[in-house]
Structure 1
């Protein structure tokens, strides 16, 4: 029982805790067997050594105490022996049966110490990858290079048994394409986009050229980050392996496959620790990546590449898109151009704090639309309560009205846009067409002027919600619900995506969302229904949720300078003078008739006077209070409160949902 462990210790020059533990356990087990043998066997073959130990102990603790002692040391020895797996024990014993030491087992001590987590390797000579199956490393790689980690399992193969692989010269796979993004881009309709006949689109020469020399993938930097990442995870007793990476202009994504017993929630809690270990400003952990058994860890690059709008507009995917409402969003995490069709979104909700790149991203979307459409096919309705963002676009021929800066005018314009939507539906109903595309095709064939697309852009929703929240919410929801087929689309942006600005009704009708960097986790939860936007880098870094998908797509918006926008705007102004439709800024009873249920009824409730007296006398205006006092249903009480508001007795709801008594 001691021959094999002793011989192994003799042949192995390096002593480890595991080898000493196995030898010690074998010795204790031998003593337990000798003592048990001397008690069970009654003749002279019971063994003198074991009997002498038993006699010495029996004098002190008796026969039962001796048996308890034997059982205790037996359990102790078995605990030491089975601390490692059976395969580890066999591997430990294998040198005793071989004439020469196998080179592949040279680094085995470090590998097993990782699994036992008894010590952390501080040297950077080797990087051991580990996982549920055992991996055997080769020592052929020079010591100065970091270890190279290979995938655990071959592609599309179920892990039915442990795989033993030698470390080869092949590094972790760096992919140049994201399968999920490629699938989304393949759904974009491709074909020839109709070019205007009597209008010249701006040339691409107005846009800045990207630098001639692009930043290449720094493989040594990626290898070092993998080494630091795995080292930090091991310190927190998280086993796993990096199976593939995606390197792009801004971030590098590592797909980390944890061991089966590791909880994903444990990895999420280490975001700040991993950021410190990788010397990163911030990192984002996607745990898990939808449809995969890996965790995505996105780390900023040391050198961040600037993305230019010209790169996106010159890309094949943008050129081949047949939709006139194709908008350029930027590049994905591997540096491929990413675009989307506004018709399929069909509306967009955008959030981002100051300095996050929100305005730059919106400008890129506007320019990409201007590079594909004439004023005959696309008109804009721009609402800018801050009076700064869209002023540069004033007087371009695509504008339906001047840039709207006053909240009251914005409400009137939105109300009239609802009327325009209803008018278009009446026209399409008479022509027996289902959407604007079918109507325009039919209009061309019969010589009728086609209907242009209309894109409504609201830069700061919070300012409108503070002044006329109820009306703004109603009109946005109404347009978002019904305007798609009529060719009217909405892009809404806000700096403060709180629940009183981005209400549930607005969120329900704007399923496609983009979030640039936000200040708090709760803001990310409001805009995206998920965490992560608070971990973005700013400067155009964003998360995009396409309709019908549960995952988040990380993109980087292209940069557009004011000089580029000025050149495009001046060129468009020279092409054609602007013709505004002032009817959208005129107040009409039709437009406001639907904003409140009390305004179109024309009749007051029978209990209106009683409710008015209660409010004025008792100075309480809540719906539930009126409901209790008048003994009526909630809906009827709510209608009476709205009528009191319409008559000027109560104010509109504030941010807390309360109304003030004006009279």
Structure 2
């Protein structure tokens, strides 16, 4: 593909001096030395000709220092399994709870894509994806990643699923699961309100031990008194958010958790097919700072809604 791309660029009167290439599951990223005869704009203007004349489907053209990087779609996308990703993942073994989970490969350089609430990223997360987009697979990967890198004493998972837990039967026996799969609105509200009380209890402990967060607190106390990190995973939350009572309760509790839950070691992951404004108030949306957006029914519609909500 690199030879074909270089030949095509030269035939289009564009200078093409290769300086490197990277193969990703979706594309081949070819890097050429940038010059007055090879710029990002020049390549973008030739994308139609590269496709129709030379059969090269250019996904993206982006600038790098001294380089024009051209991503060309592979004839057939490569399936990446969780085993292949985890073979490259070497989480550090420490006594502290792990909050970094590898969920895939980056398209720009084929490196590991790490999901890190509370460290690299915001503490709370919104996942959007229509049916068949891989949303449930992503959430299951996060669940597994947390479970294999933490003991049940280090990580507790509250799993809320309006679909009666049909996507999570394999997790019923997971020792990290706190209270089984929550599948009713009343139980979900009760669990979220309990988390608010637990958050306040933890802050009282922090004050007593002069700690500014769960990490500092755990370092000061004995192993028997350490606090676990809580992960709340709420699948298909938009379904129940159509109920006014549930919508009001969740918006209130998440609003309180969003302010102080990070230091208390509590993280929220909410997932829905289409998190539109009528089911997701601005207050709730603003608390879910991470956005893992898979394929949605209308990308433009979701972006417009998100922009108006102050993303």
The yes-or-no answer on 1:372 pairing with 2:149 is: yes
> Larger Rg: 1 or 2?
1
Q: Is the 8 A contact 1:318 1:339 kept in 2?
A: no
CA distance in 1, matches of 2:210, 2:256: 23
**Aligned partners of 2:42, 2:130: CA distance in 1, in Å?**
28
Q: Deviations over 1:546-598 (max 9, x none)?
A: xxxxxxxxxxxxxxxxxxxxxxxxxxxxxxxxxxxxxxxxxxxxxxxxxxxxx
- Tell me how far 1:522 sits from its aligned partner: 1.4
Supply the distance in 2 between the matched residues of 1:378 and 1:228 (Cα, whole angstroms).
53
Query: Partner of 1:490 in structure 2?
Result: 268
| Deviation, structure 1 residue 475 | 2.3
Deviation at 1:371, TM superposition (A): 0.8
1:222 aligns with 2:2: yes
1:252 CA displacement: 1.9
CA contact (8 A) 2:15 2:38 kept: no
The 5-angstrom pairing of residues 183-582 of structure 1 reads: 221-228=1-8, 244-254=20-30, 267=44, 284-285=59-60, 288=62, 297-315=70-88, 317-319=90-92, 324-333=98-107, 334-344=109-119, 345=121, 346-387=123-164, 388-444=166-222, 449-467=225-243, 468-523=246-301, 525=303
Q: Does structure 1 retain, via aligned residues, the 8 Å contact 2:102–2:145?
A: yes
- Structure 2: state its 5+ residue gaps: none
- Measure, in 1, the Cα distance between the counterparts of 2:147 and 2:241: 29
Q: State the superposition RMSD in angstroms.
A: 3.6
Cα displacement (A) at 1:254: 4.1
Report how far residue 306 of structure 1 moved. 2.5
After superposition, the Cα gap between the structure-2 partners of 1:329 and 1:343, relative to the gap in structure 1 and judged at 3 Å, is same
| 8 Å CA contact 1:312, 1:337 repeated in 2 | yes
The structure with more helix, counted as a fraction of residues: 1
Task: Answer whether contact 1:411 1:471 (CA < 8 A) is retained.
Answer: yes
Does the C-alpha gap of structure 1 residues 438 and 300 become closer, same or farther in structure 2, counting only changes over 3 Å?
Answer: same
SS in 2 for 1:485: helix
Q: Which has the higher contact order (CA 8 A, sep 6+)?
A: 2
Q: Name the TM-score, length of structure 2 as normaliser.
A: 0.78
Conservation of the 8 A alpha-carbon contact between 1:229 and 1:278: no
TM-score, normalised via structure 1 length: 0.40
Match of 1:298, SS? strand
